[in-house]
Structure 1
Amino acid sequence: MKKQIFTIPALTISALIVMGTLEAGTKNQTRGDDEPLRGPDVVGWYVGGYGDGFDMTLYGQEDGVMGFAFGTTSCNFGDAEAEWYGGTNRVPVIAQTAYRLKDGVFEQIGTAWLKHSFCAVSEPGCGDCQSTPCSTLGIGCADTYWAGLNADAIAPRSAINAHTGYYDYPFTISPTGSSGMRGKLHLKTEDIDPSLNPDAEYFVECQYVTPDDAEWGNQDNNCSYKWMKFTDSLYPVGLSSTQVEDSAMHGWKFFDNDVDLRPLRVPDEGLLEVGVRVHDLGNGTWKYVYAIHNMNSDRSIQSFEVPVGDCVTVTDINFNDIDYGSGEVIDGTDWDMSHSEGAVKWSTVSYDTNEWANAIRWGSTFTFWFTADQGPSDGELKLGIFKPGDVNELMHLADVPDCPSECVGDVNDDNFVDVADLLEVIAYWGTDNEGADVNTDGTVDVIDLLEVIGDWGCN
């Protein structure tokens, strides 16, 4: 598929000229008929409603928190009709989330309860629509839920297995609170006020979770996002086209290409995305930022560890989770944080202690960051899985702070042992030059040459 280009309203173009072409590098909004998918495949086609409009509506405000909902349009990319049996558990639920990128840290700032969908209207516009009655979504057909429909979100995230798409119905709990806040996308005013966040970027993301899509193995492309902003009056405005089949984590990568963003699979189960960014603060310290997005793993993540060298001084350990709100049963207790035993560690309690503990559950992103006085080296992040299974830890190679290596063969002090160091030894052959006398025996000779070769590539 071709790369997709962000489309931007004219009022924002002048502010973005310095950025060059905004090429998202994501999938285009075409069905890809040259490689047809098998079975139903429901994706978020538009975020903010149908087309390039942006329907995101404020419904209430209480205690510094605002309650929003935004429109979404799905599309059946597959080659089979998608089930849409309203009033059952054979119909998609629709998730709404919001993110902010500020000061180099990407964070989820809001989440909503889920819309329990009904009656797919099989609209044209996302392919060669083969229209069907509203109990299914036809092949190549779209279905729009405007903000007013998604605002009526009654499905708890805790009831859904996003990997299998299964959930019990009827739901055993309902959202609580006033009509303007109940089940809505809760955003703190302080998180979206432009005067408090002058250089922040914002993204909203939808995710469709549906049983037959998952049964066919098509659940890993159900997230899509849109870049947006809030005006001085806190009015939401869309700034880009929908980035189809990509989570909002890709928005972070778009605005900062130095982000290392890669998938991580829970064995035989759901998909995670791990984003890593190391900022050189220019004062002898580095800011390490790690974000873990759980797209659809039911087993979830309980703990996270970053190894650090013994010589490393760590300060400003932080993390960001999410508030579920509206009476969701998930316990939002903050994770414990520590620096001990050669690692910076964050964790919640075990599944055996509290099955509703604040794990990194599907549709959520937790962000972890700290400052260190040493630069990055390769290391293995450790993610502990929340629900027990055959594999209970995941490892992920990434940048971590470590002690500078002691490369005895680095004769010319350029922090890398290579041919230049060999030539330095040869240049001082037979002398007592201290720099080239690697083994400090008083003579530059073949032993020093072998020391350099033995240390080859060290940095």
Structure 2
Amino acid sequence: MTARTRHTRTVPRFAWMLGLLLALNGTAHSADDSTAPWQLSLHLNPGVLEMWQLEFAGAAKSQPSQRFDGYQAYLLNTQQGKVTEASFDWSVRLRRPGYEVDITQLNVAVSSELNAITLRDQRGRSLFVADMPHRHQQATGLDWRYMNLRPSEWLAKRLGQSLLAEQVIGSVDLRGPHPIESKGNADCRSTTLWPSMAAPADIQLFQIGGVQAMRCQGCSTVSTTGQVVVAPDATLLNVGQSDVPWYSKFTAPQPPYNNDQHPMLVWAMYRIDADGGLHPLGSSGVKHAFFAQNDMCACAGDNILYRGCSDLYSRSTNDVNSLLGPRDEIAPQPTLWGRCGSVFDPDCNSVENSSGFAQSLFDRRLLVTESQMQNHPGASYWIEAWYVVREDSNLDNSLAIRQIIPTKVGSAWNIAVSGSLSNGPLVSQWVNPADADPLTDNQLVDTADGRLRLAVRVQDLGNGNWRYRYALMNLDYADAVFSGSEPGLLRLLSQIGAVRLTWPLLRDDANAPTWRDETGDASPSWRLATDTLLQVEATTALGLGWGRLLVVEFDSRFAPQSGNIDLGLGDGDSVAVSSLLPVVVDRIMRNGFE
């Protein structure tokens, strides 16, 4: 096997000293005090402002954002900035009920070592912080984009709500002549090594730094039926032995696949009740990735994620209409996007169509109903994120979960992260495949068209009664049919996931079977089959799509033993999956007759 090459970060001593000075003092003063132009763009999320009752008013005029559909933008320019610092006139009045802060100036302090900027007012008080930048290397200076914008702790307290310091209220772009960049700037294309059997790709999702309610449809101080949009931050690392292409959609065909291949990010949310019941609460559409930062290494930002380098996507970039598409345009195994006929190219002319992002701010988002996060004592909540990468050799480390704590604050939702990240799907947290508990089981179903997991937890209710809880997670299985060819004419005609679960058990031997998916209890996407055996079948052509979870529960008088459950797949085949299930005693004895 080819030895792995890591692009090691090197920082000259002079640059390191300047970076340290910058981190300590906020700015590093250059000997050149000549004026230079700066540009600052603030894109504010009206959904967050509405939930937290924030209002920007005053003389400064906003306009519709050209980058974030539905956002309002302030575009600021100055010719009075020095090489390492800048001030912008910005006359706004920031209000919450009973609180008000006047702002007439924004002073920008850049910290390259911390990958963040601080925006201070005319008196030097910190107003906002912005971090997680997409740092584009420019010969003329600094170019940071898509930063998360949050109120500072000082401003949050002045506005009467300390939790505001944890809320991303929008996004920030900053361009200027700043000479210091802590990240590498090497051109690593000369050593590019594409994925192969000898040099497999392996992308690890290693951080979910924050999770947020981005807006809510129908929320109020007393509502329970509002629909909350949830999005996470996500950071990944190339731990494989090859470099991974990361081209934005509609880029001209590039190696190694002669297309505009790029990874995609999806996320989902779950609840585990105090009694062990598992509830899928919602899932996102597909976030099309578009640029690799190449942090933690010497390589410049590029449309390739190099070995040993990391990348990030902030929750603000995960809320951009033009980057979000439907899951059913993607075949996750081997990660092919049917661009022809997609929402971004409905006329199949290989030119991006604006209809792709002419959607409401609640389409293709992870939507959770408020009642699913209220009045569930002892429940735990989880976010799951997954980078779907072509030829990724390790599915489990591309997936990750982290516990979250949702709390309603007035008409807003605060979502705090808790504990540390764990790789793998949530279903393997619910039932650990390595667990020796005789009342649990978790089996991987590996097919030529993708993978699924079937997990079960059995509970002894006493008095000879047992509760059976099954969770079927479709990881990346899809029976997909394509026409045309890459790069521009590949069309996904159809795809079908899992369509059926059948137990070797009469329906009468299962008491009150129920089922649920992310649409809720007794989902209309599933039904009990009119068969003598216990069978739950899909009512839609798609079945259980990839990255989604189905839960089936019932009680039985019969104790668990090992047996096979029949899993029906979209290609018309079925797979016998070993699991725990009720085993009926001699039927002539079960009613007490001898």
Normalising by the smaller structure, the TM-score range is: 0.5 to 0.7
1:253 and 2:431 correspond: yes
The equivalent position to 2:536 in structure 1, one of 340, 343, 346, is: 346
- In structure 2, what is the equivalent of residue 280 of structure 1? 460
Following the alignment from structure 1 to structure 2, what is the Cα–Cα distance between the partners of residues 37 and 274? 32
Q: Is the 8 A contact 1:39 1:81 kept in 2?
A: no
The equivalent position to 1:369 in structure 2, one of 531, 553, 570, is: 553
Following the alignment from structure 2 to structure 1, what is the Cα–Cα distance between the partners of residues 474 and 531? 26
- In structure 1, what is the equivalent of residue 512 of structure 2? 316
- In structure 1, what is the equivalent of residue 342 of structure 2? 172
Following the alignment from structure 1 to structure 2, what is the Cα–Cα distance between the partners of residues 340 and 288? 20
Following the alignment from structure 1 to structure 2, what is the Cα–Cα distance between the partners of residues 135 and 154? 19
Letter in structure 2 aligned against 1:249:
V
Q: Is the 8 A contact 1:131 1:139 kept in 2?
A: no
Structure 1 pair 138–171 and aligned structure 2 pair: CA distance change class (3 A): farther
Following the alignment from structure 2 to structure 1, what is the Cα–Cα distance between the partners of residues 262 and 377? 40
Structure 1 pair 81–132 and aligned structure 2 pair: CA distance change class (3 A): farther
Following the alignment from structure 1 to structure 2, what is the Cα–Cα distance between the partners of residues 192 and 314? 30
- In structure 2, what is the equivalent of residue 83 of structure 1? 245
Structure 1 segment 57-456 matched on structure 2, within 5 A: 57-62=213-218, 64-88=226-250, 89-102=260-273, 103-124=275-296, 129=297, 131-152=299-320, 153-169=323-339, 172-173=342-343, 174=356, 178-179=360-361, 181-193=362-374, 196-211=375-390, 213-214=391-392, 217-219=393-395, 221-233=397-409, 234-244=413-423, 246-253=424-431, 258-266=439-447, 268-299=448-479, 300-308=497-505, 313-323=509-519, 333-338=524-529, 340-341=531-532, 343-349=533-539, 357-388=541-572, 392-404=573-585
Following the alignment from structure 2 to structure 1, what is the Cα–Cα distance between the partners of residues 538 and 326? 21
Residues 355-383 of structure 1 deviation map (CA, whole Å, 9 limit, x = unaligned): x6241111011111111121112221010
- In structure 1, what is the equivalent of residue 25 of structure 2? none
Q: Is the 8 A contact 1:220 1:296 kept in 2?
A: no
Q: Is the 8 A contact 1:70 1:151 kept in 2?
A: no
- In structure 1, what is the equivalent of residue 193 of structure 2? none
- In structure 2, what is the equivalent of residue 39 of structure 1? 200
Structure 1 pair 132–323 and aligned structure 2 pair: CA distance change class (3 A): farther
Q: SS at the partner of 1:240?
A: strand
Q: Compare 61-70 and 109-118 and name the one that shifted more.
A: 61-70
Q: SS at the partner of 1:150?
A: helix
Following the alignment from structure 1 to structure 2, what is the Cα–Cα distance between the partners of residues 386 and 221? 26
Normalised TM-score (structure 1): 0.68
Following the alignment from structure 1 to structure 2, what is the Cα–Cα distance between the partners of residues 401 and 339? 20
Q: Is the 8 A contact 1:334 1:358 kept in 2?
A: no
Structure 1 pair 296–220 and aligned structure 2 pair: CA distance change class (3 A): farther
Structure 1 pair 366–156 and aligned structure 2 pair: CA distance change class (3 A): same
Letter in structure 2 aligned against 1:40:
A
Following the alignment from structure 2 to structure 1, what is the Cα–Cα distance between the partners of residues 408 and 266? 27
Residues 20-72 of structure 1 deviation map (CA, whole Å, 9 limit, x = unaligned): xxxxxxxxxxxxxxxx983322232212x3xxxx2423323235211111111
Letter in structure 1 aligned against 2:389:
T
Following the alignment from structure 1 to structure 2, what is the Cα–Cα distance between the partners of residues 402 and 262? 19
Q: SS at the partner of 2:515?
A: strand
Normalised TM-score (structure 2): 0.53
Equivalent pairs counted in the alignment come to: 337
Q: SS at the partner of 1:191?
A: helix
Structure 1 pair 323–403 and aligned structure 2 pair: CA distance change class (3 A): closer
Cα shift at 1:101: 1.0
Letter in structure 2 aligned against 1:197:
H
Structure 1 pair 176–184 and aligned structure 2 pair: CA distance change class (3 A): farther
Residues 155-178 of structure 1 deviation map (CA, whole Å, 9 limit, x = unaligned): 210011111111123662246753
The equivalent position to 1:56 in structure 2, one of 212, 217, 222, is: 212
Residues 429-453 of structure 1 deviation map (CA, whole Å, 9 limit, x = unaligned): xxxxxxxxxxxxxxxxxxxxxxxxx
- In structure 2, what is the equivalent of residue 450 of structure 1? none
Cα shift at 1:227: 1.5
Structure 1 pair 284–160 and aligned structure 2 pair: CA distance change class (3 A): same
- In structure 2, what is the equivalent of residue 439 of structure 1? none
Letter in structure 1 aligned against 2:231:
A
Gaps of 5+ in 1: 1-35, 325-331, 350-355, 407-459
Q: Which has the higher contact order (CA 8 A, sep 6+)?
A: 1
- Structure with greater strand share of residues: 2
Q: SS at the partner of 1:190?
A: helix
Structure 1 pair 90–177 and aligned structure 2 pair: CA distance change class (3 A): closer
Following the alignment from structure 1 to structure 2, what is the Cα–Cα distance between the partners of residues 395 and 220? 23
Letter in structure 2 aligned against 1:45:
F
Letter in structure 1 aligned against 2:199:
R
Following the alignment from structure 2 to structure 1, what is the Cα–Cα distance between the partners of residues 263 and 510? 44
Following the alignment from structure 1 to structure 2, what is the Cα–Cα distance between the partners of residues 319 and 115? 29
